[in-house]
Amino acid sequence: MVIIFKKISILVIVLVVAFLLYHSKVGQLLLSGDVDLIARHVESYGWKAIILMFLAIFIQAFFPYLPFIILAGVSVLLFGFYFGFIISWIATSLGAIAAFLTARYIAREWAENKVGASPYFKKFNTFTSNHGFKTILVSRIIAVVPSSLINLAAGISRLKGRSFILATWIGNLWVAFIESLLGHYLIHFEKHSGKLLIILVILLAIYLFVKRKGIFGKNGD
């Protein structure tokens, strides 16, 4: 009975997301990646735009097909930088936690089929055994691996739930801020091209440093 419930839950989730993405105007606009068109359409919903953006960012935590930077840019364009950033941070964090819990308790078999055979998962699972909080935090901050992959991999790993949740809230605070900032600067590229270049250089430097040192340094500390 539990197995049947899990399979039905997975099917319902997949069907709902597929409908939202491919059979609704909002979904098609999100897949197009046109920030201005997305923003204008979402804005036409009035106060419901907040709920719509929250749900779009929440769902993005399950699937890698919607770039977070586009959604963060739309959120900032619609609601201003600070409020847009807060919406993005809360929605992406809650979405990540929901994806983690789904992979662990509802759709574990599906999650294992998606990421279980990945070389990334094997390394990830080894790290989370001894450095769970640090692994998730660094993975979030460097933002090289898609968030959805981190969520699913964490769900089927030996990582403790509280470590994932805490590291996700902290790590996504940085990610949501940076991606909201990048989205804002990309929308107003002519005005902020210099600032955008500086941020990209800093992010590249952080990535190269982390890659050179390894997630836990040379000695795994």
For the whole model, what pTM was predicted? 0.73
Low-confidence ranges of the chain (pLDDT < 50): 2, 216-221
pLDDT at residue 219 in the model: 41
Judge contact between 72 and 179, C-beta under 8 A.
yes
Note the pLDDT of residue 148: 83
What's the rounded Cα separation, in Å, for the pair 44 and 141? 34
The rounded distance, in Å, linking the Cα atoms of 146 and 168 is: 13
Whether the CB-CB separation of 81 and 75 falls below 8 Å is answered with no
Given this model, what pLDDT does residue 144 score?
Answer: 73
Q: To the nearest 10°, the Cα dihedral for 95, 73, 50, 48?
A: -120
Do residues 178 and 92 lie in contact, with contact meaning Cβ atoms separated by under 8 Å?
no
